[in-house]
A and B are shown apart, each in its own frame.
Chain A
Amino acid sequence: MSVRPIALPGRPTHGRPGRSLPAYAAGAANRVAGVVLVLALWEVVPHLGLISRSALPPLDRVVRAFGDLLGRADLWSAVRETVTGWAIGLAIAVVAGLVVGFLIGTIPWARELTESTIEFLRPIPSVALIPLVVLVYGTDIRSALILVVYASFWQMLIQVLYGMQDVDPVVRETARSYRFGALARMRYVVWPTALPYVMTGLRLAATVALVLEITAELVIGGRGLGSLLARAQSSGAIDNTYAIVVITGLLGVAVNLLAQRAERAALAWHPAHREVPA
């Protein structure tokens, strides 16, 4: 479902192209100023004692802990573990979402028949499965994988279904008049219509997958970033705890950028790319 307000003619959605260089530079300066201000506050507030240093260590201490962590092998193996779990889980969810979505979208009746089941299964929180996977798989990678796949599969599936529903009836009838076969209809009618939705699903699934991967590591244990964080917390290493939180944030930013890049690359041809449903 599109939730972004539709771009009416004359409404600038992205102000970039028309903006002059000085205005652009001023905007960039504003952004940098915001980041610098927050970092400065982070340094100053604990020093002034407004927040206790044991609750919020000043920035320089977190930066030092961050630097130490970057030189440690266990951080990198944790990052590798987390990224691997995220990627495998996301790949399974995306493929499964595409296959199931296209099947439901193609077979007559299937959509109506499965709608209620999907609506019931989708909101079940993935984390409810934690006790079950802990018993069955322990701290094995499969535990986190199940949570990741369960959570991100629905994001993908829903978008694929929206996409397949959105096929323009005129285009569909035209293709039929020209006697497009089932495969050709899929390739030239359904797939281009669904692609923006598929990419939106991919972006949402990528974010959700990371959240669930870290959550699983945090609660269940294992060797990923989440468990590194849990260990830092239980040993009371406050500087390290904050540094690891920052690292998970950077990972989240990386995932977002990657997903945006993929979306842009896949939809470069799309005339209404800026109106991609969110």
Chain B
Amino acid sequence: MNRVLTLGRSLVLWLALPIVLLVVWWFDSAGSSSFYYPPLRTIVSALHREWLGHRIVDDVIPSLVRLLVGYLVAVAVGVALGVLVGLRRRVRLAAEPVLEFFRAVPPPVVVPVLLLVVGIGSTTKVVIIASGCIWPILLNTVQGVRGVDPVLTETARCYGLDGWARLRTLVLPAASPQIMAGARQGLSIAIILMVISEMMASTGGIGFTVVKFQRNFAMPEMWSGILVLGLIGIVLAMVYRLVERRLLAWYVGMRRLERGEG
């Protein structure tokens, strides 16, 4: 009984503020005659009209596919290169300053460079996304691999674990909290790059559509596009968190024990 009560209480607390905010927005904007601030009701109907029809197939899905392909390529290449670099001290020392510089470059500047060099196209956008979000993943992998407990490394060596087995059972799991932190930074960069590559040079995609609405001064439609981008951000963050929770369940448990909360 008590548990049901606590659960109900936290559910109420969880839902209360978002609902209040939405209700306030709904009623505050209902009578709005401001051009830039259309009633939420019109935005929602624009959302329904513009995005639930052919745009899902024509704009939303292609954008998301480019995002996912670019991001997954960055994760795969970043982790693979990061392991190669991180396992050898001399390679790591030689590579780190260069990689740090690449990470410090604000990722969106790759957009003009690649537009100039390769031109506009779906592949270019995937390359833009991948090349922009690979650096935090790569560098975090290098640092995670470097930070593997030497005692564990020696133990693995004593038991004759090497090559693929050592990588799979020791190096990658030990580095995974760092890798996941890098992958999270990479994901938000990937979303930024997806949007602005479509805004700057494109004939389709979510970013392009939103800017097209803006240029035509179609306010409710533009607002609906902003909502779509926001929803995509929220959904991707949730998916990411689910993946992270599964991959790092052991780590969270270990930390809790070490803090004496077990």
A residues with CB within 8 A of B: 2-6, 8, 10-13, 27, 30-31, 33-35, 37-38, 54-56, 109, 112-117, 119-120, 122-132, 134-136, 210-211, 214-215, 218-219, 226, 229-230, 232-233, 236, 238, 241-242, 244-245, 248-250, 252-253, 255-256, 278
B243 at the interface (CB under 8 A from A): no
Q: Chain B nearest CB: distance from A246 CB in Å?
A: 8
- Asked if residues B104 and A135 are in contact (CB atoms below 8 Å), the reply is no
A256 engages B104 (CB within 8 Å)? yes
Q: Is B94 a contact partner of A33 (Cβ separation < 8 A)?
A: yes
Q: Whole-angstrom distance between the alpha carbons of A220 and B229 in the complex?
A: 18
| Cβ-based interface call for B249 (8 A) | no
Judged by a CB distance under 8 angstroms, whether B30 is at the interface is no
Q: Is the CB of B178 within 8 A of A5?
A: yes
Known: A34-B93, A253-B104. A127 touches B195 (CB 8 A): yes
Q: Which 4 A-B pairs have the closest CB atoms?
A: A34-B94, A252-B104, A131-B214, A128-B229
- B16's closest neighbor in chain A, by CB? A113
- 14 extra A-B contacts, CB within 8 A, seeds A4-B147, A249-B101, A278-B181: A5-B144, A5-B174, A6-B255, A27-B93, A34-B95, A35-B97, A112-B14, A116-B15, A128-B230, A215-B196, A226-B109, A230-B112, A249-B105, A253-B104
Dominant SS among interface residues on chain A = helix
Say yes or no: A241 contacts B98, CB within 8 Å.
no
How many residues belonging to B are interface residues under a CB distance threshold of 8 Å?
A: 71
- B residues near A214, Cβ cutoff 8 Å: 106, 108-109
Shortest C-beta distance, A22 to chain B (Å), equals 14
Q: How far is the CA of A181 from the CA of B98 in the complex (A)?
A: 51
Given the interface pairs A56-B117, A215-B192, A252-B106, the reply to whether A113 lies near B17 with Cβ below 8 Å is yes
B52 CB to closest chain A CB, in angstroms?
A: 19
Contact of A3 among B102, B180, B195 (CB under 8 A): B180
State in angstroms the CA–CA spacing of A82 and B221 once bound together: 31
Chain B residue nearest to A13 in the complex (CB): B147
Chain B residues with Cβ below 8 Å from A117 are: 17-18, 21
A128 near B195: Cβ-Cβ < 8 Å: yes
Q: Which chain B positions have C-beta within 8 A of A127?
A: 191-192, 195-196, 199, 207, 229
Give chain B residues whose Cβ lies under 8 Å from the Cβ of A230: 112
CA distance A114 to B104 in the complex (A): 33
B115 at the interface (CB under 8 A from A): yes
